[in-house]
Amino acid sequence: MPVDKIKVKLWMNEFPGAFTFDGTVLFCRMCEKVVNCERKTQLLQHVKTTMHVKGGHKSSSSRQTLLTQIGEQSTSKSSINTEFSTDLCETLMASNIPMYKLNNPAFKKFLQKYCVGHNIPDESTLRKNYVPGVYQSVLQAIREDIGDNYIWVSTDETTDACGRYVANLIVGKLTSEAFANPYLVSCKVLEKTNHSTVARFVNDSLRTVFPDLSEDKFRVFLSDAAPYMIKAGQ
């Protein structure tokens, strides 16, 4: 007796994903067997069989396992890409390579060729999502290196090619054990240069790097002999 294709498809819709139908044969994916489909009752009886019910549980478990594996792989890949982007951002900054160089076709081609398996982030992604984190990690490394030692600071102001007043601040730890590397911790454009703007620049910069800095840890202030610098130090 020929089957009614339209009816069979309607019956199948009640059990999504359980059956396939080629227009002649109805195949149960759970049991991996052909099912009679001349009448709907045959289909209803089949889905109640022990084999079909067990097959459904097994299929559901397999799908869940697969989804879990896919999720873990996705998380792992995301973690790897995040680490790669962080390292790339840190390397560019430490090497004084501008972020916009990532848009250079030759540089991007090189990274894509030799950094297989990693998504090469664009400039804006690094600036928005990774530069702040790298900045904070560098500040933390400076804090840990200086520790509880006394510190010295040095500041100076210069004029850049655009005629702007740029102030710089260097800090270092005072220790008799060995030479300690100083750190350039702040560069800022000042609206004007006088003792007030310089003093505010130094104080704000120190609070950024050392939020809990005690005043007795601050021992030496170095600068040139300009009157406004001397007044700022006082």
Q: What is the structure's pLDDT at 54?
A: 65
Which residues of the chain are under the pLDDT cut of 70? 1-5, 37, 52-81
The DSSP string of the chain is: ----HHHHHHHHTTSTTTEEE-SS-EEETTTTEEE--SSHHHHHHHHTSHHHHHHHHHHHHHHHHHHHHHHHHHHHHHHHHHHHHHHHHHHHHHTT--GGGGG-HHHHHHHHHHSTTS----HHHHHHHTHHHHHHHHHHHHHHHHTTSEEEEEEEEEE-TTS-EEEEEEEEEE-SSS----EEEEEEEESS-SHHHHHHHHHHHHHHH-TT--GGGEEEEE--S-HHHHHHH-
pLDDT tens, position by position, 171-193: 999 887 778 889 999 999 998 88
Domains, the chain, ordered by start: 5-48 (no CATH), 148-233 (3.30.420)
pTM exceeds 0.75: no
**pLDDT for res 18:** 77
pLDDT for residue 91: 92
